[in-house]
Structure 1
């Protein structure tokens, strides 16, 4: 790969890395930036990528452990994707989704409907995951207004769930340890306690923990009144919360509770959709449920272009339909069903099918999960968990778990050690999360976990020396 480092040398008239970082600090506001220091540090200047690897401006190679942001399923540098995007740009760069349709969007909608379980056949295209969730929640509101149930609007969500940054999506996001200075519509949401089996009381079985979590949902509905609860939103795996895998049977039982009280079940598959667990969608193939609505994004285009979708069941659509000529489902975006983004999604799906990437994920998952679970041997590791090509290491800086400051320090040390050794992970307080491109080979899995082992040993030694 020497050609990569050669290619990233700046041309004479191009700004150098120092200038780019200066402009970045002065002019660009990044997502989730700390307001006390956002002008004071240098973000890594990423210049090029290929396969599962990224290169910075100095030519140093890194394994992309987070897969971008949970999304680069087919890996970087796909010429076929570049060609498809270029061809569609020249053929038709944009259309109004209000009054026209296109071949890419019509074909993609049909493909997605064929992938989803049951009668989820109605695909509403959005700009990403947040707007997909926002559209799902607006669907709940629209339905209950149509049915004359204006009070049936409360959404039950879960602590540590993440659903996006738009107003409605952030309202139902339950990352309780993040300091939030934005407003949310708290009247519309009720959060259930943490579902993470790692948090269960000592001596409690996983089965008993599951019973308790189902009781949490039933009790919340009883307290709020089923006539006031419109939806339950749940990620199959709570990814940004730390790759939390609910106890076996939890999803089926929560769906049964929702059906009993006519509560819409929204499965947020923005991360788990399009192969992360070895299937197009995880709801039915992995967890055995047919939700009312599925949201997706990220892996839909492997991050090459922004696109999301809110997929609604026939049953819900039929209940929303009526004879009123003046009632519109007035939800939409300028870039809904963008033809170039839809062409990218179709090509992404084609690559996954042609190369057998779903089958590959299922084949390498046991090795990935074995290497992950072997990391529990390090004393600073409190828990390891994952499913498919999703993994999380939860650090334990002290025997009692440590305070928040100690947990943040441990997470930062592990992140720094991994980066020094050529691996990017996603740090979440005391956790390191990873979801590499789905094309990762067994040898590359070993390369990634070998670095993680060395990083964990280094942090263990450094903390012992500092004690």
Structure 2
């Protein structure tokens, strides 16, 4: 019997949890795995999920605090979603997006154009958030080549911003606190300093901090030259950087500066899009801007299937197409506009609308944020911040090593009590499924409080 047939035979006989963990350890490379110990990992084997909960292979229940990876908006385990996906698989599982259109992709493109602000009426479907960001950046490059401006290619981005893992998306990501061992493009990217109000100098008001952050952008334009800068990419909330919410007025002012200097404004709404802040998109409805492009993914299908979208304004499309010279937009993916993924997105939107999920988020968010704010009573908590159903706890520690230890302690204490959070150095971030109820919000924060009480006691004991 060959290795492949042995594996298939084992699957047919339902491998034990121990066997699956062994195979995972020996053969699967996980995202962000530590290369010094990647075979030593014991990743949690998740067996099933429903609503805001999932269960491991031993039957222990956990609250899904991160909402998968910021994406489980309607919650897993929905039969209506499964049926919509299955129906599309039977009807049409795949056709080439390079030459063919499908009903799901055409309807979804129209829906996204209606949801997006202003003149963002043109949708390029991708495989996820990273490829949506890549598409936005390549669109800027293509546009300026078409305009006869080959030098106008610099990309401005913020420290602590996260935009993906493909080469270009990784290159404009400023999140890492430890140096990446991957190569990334340095010639085309300029990072602006951290925008986090929690990090402002003592005695500096939030308004003055906002002025300083706007000045960062103005200084970069002066230094590099507007004729060299093609785009500014920004998250409405810097989610993976620690749910960093820029000061009020910052987004509007930086957008206006970009408009005045012929710099494309790309709003990365991979996390904030599709209900996380109680709106389809946050750019205009929450922050008062109409960007040139919006990137989205994650909540677009509520994590049921991979799909991303780069939504482009009419103005940009008219500039690219109105120059006379014939030229192909040579950007695309085998699974662009995948009909089954698009069907899942359409069903997701239908569920949002029929069950009033945006309205529900707006209703329960004040309670979520109130429970979050109350965590400042713990001495080990330096800052709490959030908006909508996004939240972050930032622990206080004297150095990076202590921060890592503190973050790991909070993570373990929560997991032991049946809550998963996403640890980021000294921070714990969470973005639960949007269907979470007020009682479930209390259940989640009750566990967080118990975890912080335990960690506080452990820190005090270690210091005595």
Shared fold per TM-score greater than 0.5: yes
Q: Which residue of 2 aligns with 1:158?
A: 158
Q: Which residue of 1 aligns with 2:4?
A: none
Q: Which residue of 2 aligns with 1:6?
A: none
RMSD value over aligned CA atoms?
1.1
Cα distance in 2 for residues equivalent to 1:433 and 1:259 = 33
- Report the CA distance shift for 1:145/1:325 in structure 2 as closer, same or farther (over 3 A): closer
Q: SS where residue 38 of structure 2 aligns?
A: coil
- Deviation digits for residues 71-123 of structure 1 (CA, Å, limit 9, x no counterpart): 00001111110000000000000010011100000000000000000000000
| Structure 1 unaligned spans of 5+ | 1-9
Q: Which residue of 1 aligns with 2:419?
A: 423
Contact persistence 2:146–2:323 (CA under 8 A): no
User: Matches of residues 50-449 of structure 1 in structure 2 within 5 Å?
Assistant: 50-322=50-322, 324=324, 326-397=326-397, 402-449=398-445
Cα distance in 1 for residues equivalent to 2:122 and 2:12 = 51
Count of aligned residue pairs for this structure pair: 454
Cα distance in 2 for residues equivalent to 1:12 and 1:27 = 19
Q: Which residue of 2 aligns with 1:18?
A: 18
Cα distance in 1 for residues equivalent to 2:351 and 2:374 = 32
- Deviation digits for residues 2-42 of structure 1 (CA, Å, limit 9, x no counterpart): xxxxxxxx999211011111100110000010001110120
State yes or no: 1:450 paired with 2:463. Answer: no
Cα distance in 2 for residues equivalent to 1:422 and 1:11 = 29
Cα distance in 1 for residues equivalent to 2:323 and 2:129 = 32
Cα distance in 1 for residues equivalent to 2:390 and 2:322 = 43
Q: State the shift of 1:325 in Å.
A: 5.9
Q: State the shift of 1:322 in Å.
A: 3.4
- Deviation digits for residues 382-410 of structure 1 (CA, Å, limit 9, x no counterpart): 0000000000000003xxxx111000000
Cα distance in 1 for residues equivalent to 2:25 and 2:176 = 29
TM-score relative to the length of structure 2: 0.97
Cα distance in 1 for residues equivalent to 2:149 and 2:289 = 26
Cα distance in 2 for residues equivalent to 1:231 and 1:327 = 22
Cα distance in 2 for residues equivalent to 1:310 and 1:323 = 22
Q: Which residue of 1 aligns with 2:7?
A: none
- Deviation digits for residues 57-83 of structure 1 (CA, Å, limit 9, x no counterpart): 000000000000000000111111000
TM-score relative to the length of structure 1: 0.96
